[in-house]
């Protein structure tokens, strides 16, 4: 079986559907995922115009080097049906659903997308889904949401709405959302999908961003939503394997291959045992590096 292609989601950046300038500028930044937004950043009076602009942008001017997403309005919103009609016809890589709390909500959206895909002759199941977890109920149901539908390829944690739903105070240190981050992360790992971390809302605190992003990477997240373009390069750097990590991964896999040639049941490297999880981590590291444009073949270790 061929290995699943890795689509990097190290950084996600929203571009407001009500701002043509914002949408055009966003194409030129280094984010992996560009999200054209129809929800929070668009006033009610501008929903129709934003929907038209986003459709035109994605359908006719989409950047080829990014994962292109459209965030629709909420599942129970009066705007959702028209959002889905426009979004599916624009044919993005994915649709981002806000404020997901139950698996049945994801399934209902997926069914509606399938109906539109069939009507316009689009390959069934092509458009993926990313679920934003923004409330305590979404966290409690994260495991079911992550496995709700084959279209779901990632879940993202939203700290601002989440803390509001919990009546908690949002702090820079983030202890109030530490459990939620882990719960969503574990659900993503169980489902085999990507886990996207919270935004760091102080765009002027570069050291704070580094600390928060390092924590997210160490916890196991695949990427982070950025609130401003100036955060993108910093976050990308943390979620891109370092040369030290790449070379260690190459040594691990070389030791595994040598062990197979010699018929060894146990393989060691630098005096330590190499087990299956270490081999899997090494393969993931190299796949991420290759997806980021780093050539590892023939690299001297």
Domain-wise residue ranges, the chain: 11-238, 243-291
User: How would residue 1 be classed by pLDDT, with cut points 50, 70 and 90?
Assistant: very low
User: How would residue 262 be classed by pLDDT, with cut points 50, 70 and 90?
Assistant: confident
pLDDT in tens, 72-98: 999 999 999 999 999 999 999 999 999
pLDDT at 141 over 70: yes
**What percentage of the chain reaches a pLDDT higher than 70?**
97
Domain spanning 11-238 has what CATH number? 3.20.20.60
Instruction: Give the DSSP per-residue string, 80-106.
Output: HHHHHHHHHHH--SEEEESS---HHHH
Among 184, 105, 83, residue whose Cα is nearest residue 149: 105
**135-144 per-residue burial string, b: 16 or more CB within 10 A, e: under 16:** bbebbebbbe
User: Would you state the pLDDT for residue 230?
Assistant: 96
pLDDT at 162 over 70: yes
- The structure tokens 């061929």 sit at 2
pLDDT at 290 over 70: yes
pLDDT at 184 over 60: yes
* Rounded Cα gap, residues 156 and 187, in angstroms: 11
pLDDT at 136 over 90: yes
User: Residue 17 carries which DSSP code?
Assistant: T
User: How would residue 300 be classed by pLDDT, with cut points 50, 70 and 90?
Assistant: low
User: Would you state the pLDDT for residue 5?
Assistant: 65
Query: In terms of pLDDT, which residue wins out, 118 or 64?
Result: 118
Q: Where are the beta strands (DSSP E) in the chain?
A: 11-16, 33-37, 67-71, 94-97, 128-133, 152-157, 194-197, 223-226, 267-269, 272-274
User: Would you state the pLDDT for residue 211?
Assistant: 96
* Rounded Cα gap, residues 140 and 66, in angstroms: 31
pLDDT at 4 over 60: no
Question: Mean pLDDT over all residues of the chain?
Answer: 92
pLDDT in tens, 189-210: 999 999 999 999 999 999 999 9
* Rounded Cα gap, residues 223 and 170, in angstroms: 21
Residue 233 CA neighbour count, 13 Å, CB half: 4
pLDDT at 27 over 80: yes
């Amino acid at each position: 079986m061929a290995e699943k292609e890795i689509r990097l989601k190290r950084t996600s950046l929203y571009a407001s559907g009500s701002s043509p300038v914002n949408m055009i500028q966003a194409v030129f930044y280094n984010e992996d995922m560009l999200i054209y937004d129809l929800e929070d950043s668009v006033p009610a009076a501008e929903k129709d115009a934003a929907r038209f602009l986003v459709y035109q942008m994605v359908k006719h001017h989409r950047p080829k080097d990014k994962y292109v997403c459209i965030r629709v309005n909420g599942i129970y919103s009066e705007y959702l049906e028209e959002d889905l009609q426009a979004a599916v016809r624009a044919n993005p890589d994915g649709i981002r659903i806000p404020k997901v709390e139950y698996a049945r909500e994801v399934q209902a959206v997926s069914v509606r997308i399938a109906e539109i895909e069939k009507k316009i002759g689009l390959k069934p199941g092509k458009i993926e889904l990313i679920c934003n977890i923004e409330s305590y109920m979404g966290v409690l149901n994260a495991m079911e949401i992550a496995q709700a539908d084959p279209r779901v390829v990632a879940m993202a944690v939203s700290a601002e709405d989440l803390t509001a739903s919990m009546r908690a105070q949002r702090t820079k240190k983030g202890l109030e959302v530490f459990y939620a981050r882990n719960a969503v992360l574990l659900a993503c790992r169980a489902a085999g999908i990507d886990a996207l971390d919270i935004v760091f809302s102080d765009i002027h605190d570069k050291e704070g961003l580094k600390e928060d992003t390092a924590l997210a990477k160490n916890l196991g997240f695949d990427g982070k939503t950025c609130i401003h373009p100036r955060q993108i390069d910093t976050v990308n750097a943390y979620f891109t394997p370092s040369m030290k990590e790449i070379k260690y991964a190459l040594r691990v896999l070389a030791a595994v291959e040598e062990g197979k040639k010699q018929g060894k049941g146990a393989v060691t490297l630098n005096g330590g045992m190499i087990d299956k999880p270490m081999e899997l981590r090494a393969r993931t590291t190299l796949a991420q590096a290759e997806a980021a444009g780093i050539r590892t073949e023939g690299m001297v270790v």
